[in-house]
Amino acid sequence: MVTDKGPVRGTVGTNHREFLGIPYASPPVRWGSPQPAKHWRSLRDATKPGNACAQNAGFFGEKASDSEDCLYLNVTTPRRATNNKRLPVMVWIHGSGFRNGSGALYRPQEMAVRGDVIVVTVNYRLGIFGFLDHPSLDGGPAKNRSGNFGLEDQQAALRWVRGNAAAFGGDARNVTVFGESAGGVSTCSQLTSPGAKGLFQRAIVQSGPCTVENWPDWDGTLEPAGGWLPRPRSKAERQGQTVAAKLGCPTPATAATCLRALPRSKLLKESEYGFAPVYGGGGVLPDSPKKALLKGKFAKVPVMYGMTRDEYRTFEAAQQLMGVPPLTDEKDYATRVRAYVGTEKAPKVLAQYPLRDYASPSEAWSALVTDATFARSVTDLGHSIAKRVPTYAYEFADAHAPWVKNVETPGFPTGAFHAAELQYQFDTDYFDERRLNTAQRHLAHQMMSYWTRFAHTGNPNGPDTPTWREGATTTQVLAPGKGGIRRINFAKEHKYTFWKTL
């Protein structure tokens, strides 16, 4: 394959082709906007992934990396001649809280072959390297204001796809951007970013609506920075100035030079949960994504969006495995609820989510937070966009989805947990693909059909899957077995009216 920067040699399998570790930008200047990759003349080896972006080890088993030379992507295509009809291109933006992950962790061979699409998986800068907001970093190598270098990387990758789609048999005029968790927040944010205008024609937001609010900390109190959610610039700048001072760079006039001179190892110690996209004051996200969506200031493209039924169980499990004491009784549960909603509202919430309705306090708390954060926000997203663009809502609901590989199982059923659907879409290090039973494998095939048909036409429907109704008033449940794929009143099942009026 010959890209606009030079030729690459990948791998040809029995039914697919794969090109790994292609640079879509030059090694970035620390806290600078991405720049085009340099040209090369000799054949470049593209049989191994590029470096993962700098990060600490993650909960799902992501390995630590200390590389800032990490702006690489991977291309997987069906094995077919490129002079045939151009194929849709699906660009995957990985999740893991904006602090972990890489494109190479998601291997889309089956999706590409089964759906007759091209799948591109992307690295982007993470944590403090991708989302540090500090006034001293505005200007200079940063074309836009600081705080969104990771989003700028994603846009650079989309521009690379637009310029190179034809080289690997793709249609530059039919690009679907999709992502899960932080990748879903990224996709949702790119819908509202002026810099992404025209770079994609469809979008799929998985478990990452950028409208999420009221995210709880481990004890139930509201988390000030939202952790992995878009932050207002005023809050992000205060956080950046605090981190800079902690790193020994407290003086505004010299902070940028001081920070750029620090060793990666020192920066990684501060690159924890809490760095995420920044909105307001111009830059990549001029307005809050939530307000932009509500005002209709977003790309007018078809959108698929949804969540897993038991989203918060992953976060509850992670906290317990990191040493947070589990809830043990009704008193513990009520204390956490009061911390979350306040003493005055707590009785109403406890009446809606009585502990007697659940097998454990952890399941009760997880159901409550899933509805209050994910489900309410997913519904808000649908209401904002459905009157302007074709929309298709889903809920992944396999209650017996296999848990994460090599991660201790918590002391409660994990259900359809956050990120559970990834093993139905990709071969990935997080899960053991062999653990899916026959019914689950069938569901995986149906999901791939929905996702890839949407990439082809903007409509997921086809002859081999149950009909998926357009609009925000009904949601397509995705579960294995007879009758597993069906429609529900999502807002009613997740108590949307209660949380909206509370």
Question: Which residues are marked as active site?
Answer: 181, 311, 418
CA–CA gap between residue 260 and residue 256 (Å, rounded): 6
Q: Is 462 exposed, middle or buried (0-12, 13-18, 19+ CB in 10 A)?
A: middle
**Cβ atoms 117, 86 nearer than 8 A:** no
CA–CA gap between residue 203 and residue 114 (Å, rounded): 20
What residues does 120 pair with on adjacent strands?
75, 91
Task: Look at residues 124, 251, 143, 173 and name the one whose alpha carbon lies nearest to residue 456.
Answer: 173
| Token duo for residue 482 | 């007879």
Q: Is 448 exposed, middle or buried (0-12, 13-18, 19+ CB in 10 A)?
A: buried
**Cβ atoms 359, 412 nearer than 8 A:** yes
Which amino acid, 328? T
DSSP-derived 3-state class of residue 168? helix
CA 319 to chain centre: 20
| Token duo for residue 318 | 């992670």
| Token duo for residue 70 | 């990490």
| Token duo for residue 319 | 């906290």
Task: Look at residues 163, 190, 194, 159 and name the one whose alpha carbon lies nearest to residue 177.
Answer: 190
Helix axis angle, 149-164 relative to 182-192, nearest 10°?
70
The three state secondary structure string of 227-264 is: CCCCEEHHHHHHHHHHHHHHCCCCCCCCHHHHHHCCCH
CA–CA gap between residue 107 and residue 112 (Å, rounded): 10
What is the chain's alpha carbon radius of gyration, rounded to the nearest angstrom? 22
Task: Look at residues 89, 82, 1, 4 and name the one whose alpha carbon lies nearest to residue 47.
Answer: 1
Task: Look at residues 53, 311, 283 and name the one whose alpha carbon lies nearest to residue 145.
Answer: 283
Q: Helix %, strand %, coil % for the chain, to 5?
A: 35, 20, 45
Residues 6+ apart with CB under 8 A from 215: 222, 223, 226, 227, 229, 373
Helix axis angle, 361-369 relative to 330-341, nearest 10°?
20
